[in-house]
A and B are shown apart, each in its own frame.
Chain A
Amino acid sequence: MKLETLKELNTERAARRPVIIVTDTSNGEQRLVKARDFSTDPLRAELAKQLRMGKSGNVEVGGKKLFLNVYAPTAKLVIIGAVHISQALAPLARALDYDVTVVDPRTAFASPERFPDVPLIAEWPDVALPPLNIDHYTAFVAVTHDPKIDDPALLHAFERDCFYIGALGSRKTHAKRAERLRAQGAKESDIARIHAPIGLAIGAVSPSEIAVSIMAEITAQLRLPPKEKEEAA
C-alpha cells in the first residue's frame, strides 16, 4: 500500500466517511474509493453490496480477482431519554457494537447509578447534541415522551441525515408529534422518516423486549437492501 493511500484512508476514517480499498491480489495493484465516488465507480454494484453488509470480500471482474476491503465507520446510537427502556437499550446496543450516548436534561433520570458504563449527558438537546457530531452512521432514538425534549432532538436528527430515526409513542401520539414538527417547519419527507410506533412489531411488552424490537428495526434499516427495507417497514 502506498503511503499516500494509507494517509487518505486514515483521513477518511477519522472523518467517519466510508472507504473501500480495491486490491488486485495477484500483483498488489490498489486503488482507494471514497464515499462520494461509490455511485460512479465501475464496480458500484459490488461496492454498494459490500458496504451495506459492512463486510470485506472478493469479487471476480474481467478475469481479475479483486479484494474489496470495506472500512465503514462504527455506528453510533444516540438515545434521547434516560428512561426504563433506555436502561435495557443501551447495553444491548453496546453488545451490537454501537457507540452509545444517552441524553436527558432531567438529572433524576440521567444518573450514573441508572446508567453505569454509558456516556450520559444531562443537558437539553440544543446543548448536548451539536458536540456529538451526529452523522449518517448514527441511529437516533427519542423515547422521553416529552415534546419539549424529543421534538428539538428530532429536528436535529433530520438535519444530520441519521440512517435511522425512531420515536416512542402510539399512532395517535405520533400524529400529534407530526403536527408539532410541521408547525416548526420540518419537511414532510423528514417526518415520514420517523419510525413510530418505534420498533418491529414483535409484541414486545417489557423494556428489554422493546429494546430488542428497536435494535431489530435499526439492524434492518442498516443492513437490508432498499427494496426489502420497504417491505419490512
Chain B
Amino acid sequence: MLNREEDILKAAEDWQKAGHGVALATVVETWGSAPRPAGSSLVINDDGTFLGSVSGGCVEGAVVTEALDVIASGQPKMLEFGVADETAWNVGLSCGGTIRVFVEKVG
C-alpha cells in the first residue's frame, strides 16, 4: 500500500512509555519530485533506532542525527534538503526534489 502510514506513531508512544527519548520528524513541504508527500513521518528514539520514512531512504541518516540533537535539547528544528544545498546533495536527495522536515521532541 503506497499512501498509508505504518503504525510508527504507536511505536513512538510505546518508546516514550518505555522511558526512551523520542523525536518525530515530519515532511511539511515538498517541491519538485520529492519521494514522500507532506505528512510523511519518521520516528526516532535515543538509541538511534528509527521507523518510517521522510524521503524513501535519501536523507534519513541526516534526519536521525539532527533528531538526536532535538531529543537532547527539546527545541524543535526545521531542516531543509534539496539540490541547492551542498550538504543535502552530499547526503543524497538525488531525485532532484527539495523537502522541508520539521523535527520535534515527543513528551
Q: Which of B9, B12, B39, B78 contacts A55 (CB 8 A)?
A: B39
Instruction: Check A69–B9 contact: CB distance below 8 A.
Output: no
SS class, residues of chain B in contact with chain A: mixed
State whether the Cβ of B85 lies closer than 8 Å to any Cβ in chain A.
Answer: no
A23 contacts the other chain (Cβ, under 8 Å)? yes
Looking at the assembled complex, report how far the CB atom of B68 sits from the nearest CB atom of chain A, in whole angstroms. 17
Across the interface, do A28 and B26 meet the contact criterion of CB distance under 8 Å?
A: no
Interface size counted on chain B using CB atoms at 8 A:
25
Flag whether A107 is at the interface (Cβ < 8 A).
no
Distance between Cα atoms of A9 and B28 in the complex (Å): 18
Contact B39 A10, beta carbon cutoff 8 Å = no
| CA distance in complex: A67, B104 (Å) | 13
Q: Is the interface of A mostly helix, strand, loop or mixed?
A: mixed
Residue of A nearest to B3 (CB): A97
Cross-chain contact B78 with A25 (CB below 8 angstroms): yes
Do B102 and A6 touch across chains, with their CB atoms under 8 A apart? no
**In the assembled complex, B19 has its CB within 8 A of some CB on chain A:** no
Least CB separation from A69: chain B residue: B39
Cβ contacts under 8 Å, B76 to chain A: 25, 27-28
Q: Is B18 an interface residue (CB 8 A)?
A: no
Within 8 A of A (CB), among B1-47: 1-5, 9-10, 12-13, 16, 24, 26, 28-29, 37-39
Point out which of A27, A67, A74, A97 has the most chain B C-beta atoms below 10 A from its C-beta: A67
Which residues from B are CB-within-8-Å of A1?
A: 24, 104-106
Measured CB to CB, the residues of B under 8 A from A are 1-5, 9-10, 12-13, 16, 24, 26, 28-29, 37-39, 75-76, 78, 102, 104-107
Given contacts A56-B28, A58-B28, 11 further A-B contacts (CB under 8 A): A3-B13, A6-B12, A13-B9, A23-B28, A25-B102, A28-B75, A55-B38, A55-B39, A58-B29, A67-B38, A71-B5
Q: Which 10 A-B pairs have CB atoms at the shortest separation, nearest pair first?
A: A56-B39, A28-B76, A56-B38, A67-B28, A3-B107, A97-B1, A69-B39, A1-B106, A25-B102, A6-B13
Question: Contact residues of A with B, CB < 8 Å?
Answer: 1-3, 6-7, 9-10, 13, 23, 25, 27-28, 54-58, 67, 69-71, 74, 97
